[in-house]
């Protein structure tokens, strides 16, 4: 590659640019960034924390905020920047989610005072850090316990000025107790929260039996915002085993008969009050919720509440069934249990996550025991040397007093009592006032206790069952101390009656009118019979199709861009003969140069679609191919784009079709000769052979509507066929 560059004489010359292979660029520049996001930012580790969480909590711990007094959030944010140089706004936002005031966690890690926003509100902004105050919650004792006993690895901070832990020695499976979400590069993580007591119980069972069925002890997730989970054990078991899947949640409500209103007290964790009220108002304006007169947020000191005022005669339970279907009052939580295990992202099921946590916790406990053994051994070693002094205190004093040089005191004590340098240093540092029998007896009385402790610690360290028992006892105490009842309740999917829109729709006979200028009218049979006026149409417009159907049918619109647009008939507003109707491009969101060519209205998707192209090919596709399980609005590749489409029509049975080319050749054939294809975008088969170069099919018609006196004159036994020239008697007849 090269670029042009002006010289002093204004002449254009080429200056070379170094080339670099794209693979090399990705490897050197993009891959390190991607790995940094995955490992150091977005995916939680086995302690249930991301690096930003861990740095923040550890800073607060070092500031003495575990059991200390509240301090300004700005103070914590500033101190955290010594470990996390990503800006004060990002650090404060991380803190907000961990606070009790935000209500995002089942077991908040930060006690807060002031406005920290709410998990259930999209628009409620949290106060600036200079106004709010924080400190660590008591449960953080279980996150930092024995952290000073080398239970976890410490590394240098980004500037090398401080040391920070790579993980926290959490004494319970925090990875499952508090929810965590993160989006990395090419992967994401979304871990739901579970009840602390249930998690501890399941973990204790796994400590005894790695094949224990955890779903018996923790049947489903539990969320800080409560609500109901539509529970299917088979689906939940699949999530537990694979770490992926989804489940539905529903809001809880009560009916206030005196005020004729529904009060929503708990909503799904994945939605917000603004999203719910916004959707309600949207449906009311669209005239799809005639039962509601008003909806508002009444959240206050008494807690969360959305009030929905009902019109007289409305059944609240039937309405809620409808709202669950149409609004975020019923929402889906998608699980993706992606966890970093030794800096490697892995999607694990619930049992595997707990087993990994058990491995991690056992290592932490063993490190703590090793630390205690080391310290107690050092203490025992010193006291053993001190005990030897007990045999002859006068001798020790004499050695020290008769030593001429200070540097010789320790060597002389070592020689005099047969002790090593460390023991001699310890003895030499004892104050003169403490060189008495009482002091030495008091200090050496712990030797036997230390020996017993060391024996017990070594026994536990050498037996994994004892270590697991120790962890199990800790979990039992934590569950008893911090456990709480489930907030999210379970309702069986068999007891849930799903609302079906069609059941609440009035069904009546009507006619759909479709015009050349892409206007559409839905006119009821009653209105059509009583009307005495002519159809109001745009100038030079005309009605192409008039289709009798019912209000519970579906409409499929085929455009000139090889796309099909779908719409429920009842979603189209009723019109009158005297109105122009709805403009389809506006309703369907068509492109600027896109227009609808043909409209199909169906209730059962019976019949076949017949497409005729200018190149003489015809394609026959079952209308059922355009049916979708989900309510998709647009289908691309609705028919072939290899040649311009000339005619689109729905046929309920095989019929005779007449084709006419632009060089006056006519062909009559029955559509049974066109084989049925399974693919919507098929090119079909060649029906009419166009012998003249540049020729194309110009007109298509049903034989019965063609105006031909004797269509059989142009009929062929086999296709493709060129057809016959138009006879003189048919020359003046239109094929349209």
Catalytically active residues, by annotation = 131
Tokens 């088969």, located at residue? 685
Asked if 707 contacts 734 with a C-beta cutoff of 8 angstroms, the reply is yes
Both structure tokens of 679: 């693919």
Distance from C-alpha of 541 to C-alpha of 530, rounded to nearest angstrom: 24
Residues 6+ apart with CB under 8 A from 236: 215, 219, 220, 247
Asked if 726 contacts 708 with a C-beta cutoff of 8 angstroms, the reply is no
Distance from C-alpha of 445 to C-alpha of 447, rounded to nearest angstrom: 6
With the CA atoms of 322, 325, 331 and 332 taken in that order, what torsion angle do they form, in degrees rounded to the nearest 10? 150
Q: How many CA atoms are closer than 13 Å to the CA of 446, on its beta-carbon side? A: 16
DSSP-H helix ranges across 462-577 = 464-482, 525-530
Distance from C-alpha of 299 to C-alpha of 459, rounded to nearest angstrom: 57
Residues 6+ apart with CB under 8 A from 193: 105, 106, 176, 177, 178, 179, 221, 222, 223, 224
Distance from C-alpha of 639 to C-alpha of 556, rounded to nearest angstrom: 13
By C-alpha distance, which of 142, 47, 59 is closest to 94?
59
Both structure tokens of 398: 């004499």
Residue 731 backbone phi and psi in degrees, to 5:
-65, -30
CB neighbourhood size of 235 (10 A): 15
SS (H, E, C) 111-143: EEECCCCCCCCCCCCCCCCCCCEEEECHHHHHH
CB neighbourhood size of 285 (10 A): 9
DSSP-H helix ranges across 38-154 = 51-62, 73-80, 88-98, 141-144
Asked if 657 contacts 669 with a C-beta cutoff of 8 angstroms, the reply is yes
Rg, the chain, Cα only = 40
Stretch (H or E) spanning 297: strand 292-297
Exposed (0-12), middle (13-18) or buried (19+): which is 162, by Cβ within 10 Å?
middle
By C-alpha distance, which of 610, 603, 605, 583 is closest to 594?
583
Residues in the chain: 736
Q: What is the DSSP letter of 192?
A: -
By C-alpha distance, which of 49, 341, 37 is closest to 188?
37
């Amino acid at each position: 590659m090269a670029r042009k560059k002006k010289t002093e004489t204004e002449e254009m010359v080429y200056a070379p640019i170094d080339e670099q292979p794209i693979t090399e660029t990705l490897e050197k520049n993009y891959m390190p960034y991607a790995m940094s996001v995955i490992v150091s930012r977005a995916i939680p580790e086995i302690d249930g924390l991301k690096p930003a969480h861990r740095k923040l909590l550890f800073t607060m711990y070092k500031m003495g905020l575990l059991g200390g007094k509240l301090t300004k959030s700005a103070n914590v944010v500033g101190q955290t920047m010594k470990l996390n140089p990503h800006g004060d706004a990002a650090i404060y936002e991380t803190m907000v989610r961990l606070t009790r005031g935000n209500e995002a966690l089942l077991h908040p890690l930060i006690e807060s005072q002031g406005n920290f926003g709410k998990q259930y509100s999209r628009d409620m902004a949290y106060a600036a850090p200079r106004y709010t105050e924080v400190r660590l919650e008591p449960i953080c004792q279980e996150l930092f316990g024995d952290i000073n006993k080398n239970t976890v690895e410490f590394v240098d901070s980004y500037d090398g000025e401080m040391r920070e832990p790579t993980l926290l020695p959490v004494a319970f499976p925090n990875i499952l107790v508090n929810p965590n979400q993160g989006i990395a590069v090419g992967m994401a993580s979304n871990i739901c929260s579970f009840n602390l007591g249930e998690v501890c119980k399941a973990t204790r069972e796994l400590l005894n039996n790695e094949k224990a069925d955890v779903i018996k002890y923790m049947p489903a997730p539990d969320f800080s915002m409560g609500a109901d989970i539509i529970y299917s054990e088979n689906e939940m078991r699949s999530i537990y085993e694979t770490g992926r899947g989804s489940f539905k949640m529903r809001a809880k409500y009560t009916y206030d008969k005196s005020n004729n209103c529904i009060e929503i007290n708990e909503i799904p964790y994945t939605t917000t009050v603004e999203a719910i009220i916004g959707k309600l108002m949207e449906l009311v304006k669209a005239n799809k919720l005639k039962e509601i007169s008003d909806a508002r947020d009444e959240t206050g000191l008494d807690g969360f509440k959305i009030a929905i005022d009902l019109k007289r005669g409305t059944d609240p339970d039937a309405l809620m069934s409808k709202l669950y279907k149409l609004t975020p009052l019923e929402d889906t939580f998608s699980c993706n249990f992606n966890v970093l295990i030794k800096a490697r992202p892995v999607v694990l099921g619930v049992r595997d996550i707990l087993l990994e946590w058990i491995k991690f916790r056992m290592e932490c406990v063993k490190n703590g025991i090793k630390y205690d053994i080391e310290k107690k051994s050092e203490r025992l070693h010193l006291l053993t040397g001190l005990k030897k002094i007990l045999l002859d205190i006068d001798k020790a004093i004499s050695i020290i007093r008769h030593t001429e040089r200070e540097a010789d005191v320790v060597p002389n004590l070592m020689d005099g009592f047969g002790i090593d340098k460390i023991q001699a240093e310890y003895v030499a540092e004892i104050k003169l006032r403490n060189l008495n029998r009482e002091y030495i007896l008091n200090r050496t009385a712990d030797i036997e206790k230390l020996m017993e402790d060391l024996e017990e610690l070594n026994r536990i360290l050498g037996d994994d069952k004892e270590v697991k028992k120790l962890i199990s006892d800790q979990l039992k105490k934590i569950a008893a101390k911090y456990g709480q009842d489930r907030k999210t309740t379970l309702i069986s999917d068999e007891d849930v009656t799903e609302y079906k829109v069609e059941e609440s729709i009035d069904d009546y006979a009507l006619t759909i009118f479709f015009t050349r200028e892409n206007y559409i009218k839905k006119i009821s049979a009653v209105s059509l019979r009583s009307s005495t006026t002519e159809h109001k149409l745009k100038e030079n417009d005309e009605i192409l199709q008039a289709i009798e159907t019912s209000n519970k049918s579906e409409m499929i619109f085929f455009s000139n861009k090889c796309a099909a647009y779908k719409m429920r008939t009842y979603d189209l507003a009723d019109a009158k003969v005297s109105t122009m109707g709805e403009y389809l491009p506006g309703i369907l969101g068509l492109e600027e140069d896109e227009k609808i060519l043909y409209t199909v209205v169906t209730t059962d998707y019976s019949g076949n679609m017949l497409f005729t192209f200018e190149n003489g090919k015809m394609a026959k596709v079952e209308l059922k191919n355009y049916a979708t399980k989900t309510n998709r609005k647009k289908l691309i590749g609705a028919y072939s784009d290899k040649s311009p489409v000339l005619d689109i029509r729905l046929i309920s049975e095989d019929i005779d079709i007449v084709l006419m080319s632009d060089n006056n050749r006519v062909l009559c054939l029955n559509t049974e000769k066109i084989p049925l294809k399974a693919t919507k975008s098929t090119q079909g088969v060649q029906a009419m052979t166009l012998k003249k170069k540049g020729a194309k099919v110009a007109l298509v018609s049903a034989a019965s509507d063609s105006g031909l006196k004797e269509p059989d004159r142009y009929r062929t036994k086999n296709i493709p066929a060129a057809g016959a020239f138009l006879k003189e008697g048919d020359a003046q007849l239109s094929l349209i």
